[in-house]
Amino acid sequence: MSMVEKEKDGEAQAGEETTNLVVPWMRAPVNVSLVDSCSLETLPCLHPRLKEALEKMGISSLFPVQVAVWHETIGPGGFERDICVNSPTGSGKTLSYALPIVQTLSSRAVRCLRALVVLPTRDLALQVKGVFDAIAPSVGLSVGSAVGQSSIAGDIAQLINTPKLDAGICYDPEDITSQSLESSAVDILVATPGRLMDHINNTKGFTLEHLRYLVVDETDRLLSESYQDWLPTVLKLTQASDDGLFPSSTTPFVPSSFGSLQTIRRQSVERGFKGKPYPRLAKLALSATLTQNPSKLIQLDLHHPLFMTTGAKRYRLPEKLECLRLICETGVKPVYLVGLLKSLEGEKCIVFTSSVETTRRLCKLLNFFGDSMIKAKEYSGGLNQAVRSKELKAFRKGDVQVLISSDALTRGMDVELVTNVINYDMPHRPKTFIHRAGRTARAGRAGRCFTLLGDHEVRRFSNLLKKIGNASCPIYPIPSDLFNPVRAIYEPALAKLKESVEPIAPKRGRQVGFKHNSRTTKRNKATSEQA
């Protein structure tokens, strides 16, 4: 897997409690927690066909963050400012940008690539494409993806229209080579950075010349890596096409030769932006843990940014999330996990580990506990994309009860009816805890997040909870009538695992079993975050 969940200590610290470093525009945010949900009936200006499409999705009202963004884009805000959203996991950030973008583009006259949504992983990008697919066709818009799942040729066939030259007509070959005959087959593109760069560099007819919206979802993660300089490249390409077309209001505006192809943000005087140039590209940056690090935010080159956040806390967990902890005896952590899973009686769970290797072994071990127990599958960077997608699909369908995952699944993934998240290995950073826990308790539903701890981890975990402002995390007691029988079959299951796992070339000092100590955990972390 190309993407790495690296949330560097530096960034986490800069973003957490260091309010004195916060950029000025972040000091006066729009407080989303003061915004009410709004029914589709009363939402101003909503396109009737989009309303129908939303109803088909089972949506009858918009969540607060969606109303707040709507207000700043379609409403009086008129998309004059770039928008940065920090809103909890599962609060509906995807639709908060998809809906206004689709609504605005619904009046477009000519098809060209106008909206680009960038996400850090393929599965996440495909999930977001699914949201656009559910609403965009209703107003005649076409959505494409560039995520490295299909071949480049497959992508090109989907993204670019190449008109066939009419037989019998004489074309001047110079004209054909100098003027591109290709055109975009999509209005909206959902992409991962690597494949996006492939198209920018190599695909004939792929252009960002008409781009009007750029969404950087999971912003803090996308900004933590340069990914072949995708962001400066996109900004440079869109700025280049702004040159001469978007003067400041001190220069008289001359309509562009692109006519209806170009779209210009309306000139605003009411917010004191008079005299500043208006870039065509409107940007939205979103995360449940949006960075506040000025040196990262500056990369986005934001235009009069407006910060939207939920309440005064830096981080916020979903309202109906309950956090619980289990203190495990050394050397038998899997017994606690199986006891816990049994006590959850078949509810859908995601179990997070700290490494690809632990994910693989734990999954095997669970399946050795006997077929009456738990149906578990693995989802990690150690598997190829096709297998991962298959396992995720089975989990979504409910054919699999437990998905054991490295941090590949930590961010953004939305799987219906996941009622429990289990941190088999304690996360090391507040952000990782928030994103993992956020795979449950989504869209206002209830959910639980369990963390398994060794004695040596208790203190560190308490510190982590303090950083996210949520000290409440009581101990979860597993009933002994569940725990003891599992303990009795642990040794045979472990013996089967040892037989089945091919030996791994020993690295100096590396511990490959399930016994945990802090040194192993530190080493494993590096592997995990590559999932």
Ligand X SMILES: Nc1ncnc2c1ncn2[C@@H]1O[C@H](COP(=O)(O)OP(=O)(O)OP(=O)(O)O)[C@@H](O)[C@H]1O
Residue closer to ligand X by CB (options 111, 439) is: 439
H or E stretch including 463? helix 458-467
Residue closer to ligand X by CB (options 87, 521) is: 87
Strands 213-217 and 282-287: parallel
Q: How far is the CB of 520 from ligand X (least distance, A)?
A: 29
The single residue listed with the structure tokens 């995390």 is 473
Give me the torsion for CA of 198, 413, 7, 324, rounded to 10°: -170
Residue closer to ligand X by CB (options 432, 527) is: 432
Q: How far is the CB of 335 from ligand X (least distance, A)?
A: 31
Q: How far is the CB of 132 from ligand X (least distance, A)?
A: 12
CA atoms within 13 A on the CB side of 319: 7
Q: How far is the CB of 117 from ligand X (least distance, A)?
A: 12
Residue closer to ligand X by CB (options 280, 435) is: 435
Q: Which amino acid, one-letter code, is at 155?
A: D
Residue closer to ligand X by CB (options 410, 527) is: 410
Residue closer to ligand X by CB (options 111, 435) is: 435
Q: How far is the CB of 438 from ligand X (least distance, A)?
A: 5
Question: Per this entry, what is the length of the chain?
Answer: 531
Pull the structure tokens for residue 114.
């106008």
Q: How far is the CB of 103 from ligand X (least distance, A)?
A: 15
Residue closer to ligand X by CB (options 93, 342) is: 93
Residues 319-343 as b/e (b if ≥16 CB within 10 A, e otherwise) read eebbbbbbebeeebbbbbbbbbbbe
Give me the torsion for CA of 115, 116, 119, 124, rounded to 10°: 50
Residue closer to ligand X by CB (options 436, 467) is: 436
Angstrom distance (rounded) from CA 375 to CA 393: 14
Q: How far is the CB of 252 from ligand X (least distance, A)?
A: 42
Residue closer to ligand X by CB (options 66, 184) is: 66
Q: How far is the CB of 95 from ligand X (least distance, A)?
A: 5
499 to 92, 120, 331, 332, 505: CA distances (angstroms): 46, 37, 19, 19, 16
Q: Which residues bind ligand X (CB under 6 A)?
A: 59, 61-63, 66, 87, 89-95, 288, 412, 414, 438, 442-443
Q: How far is the CB of 15 from ligand X (least distance, A)?
A: 16
Outline where DSSP puts E strands in 328-391: 349-352, 376-379
Outline where DSSP puts E strands in 300-365: 306-309, 321-327, 349-352
Give me the torsion for CA of 410, 411, 413, 417, rounded to 10°: 60
Strands 306-309 and 30-31: parallel
Could you tell me the maximum CA-CA distance found in the chain, to the nearest angstrom?
Answer: 85
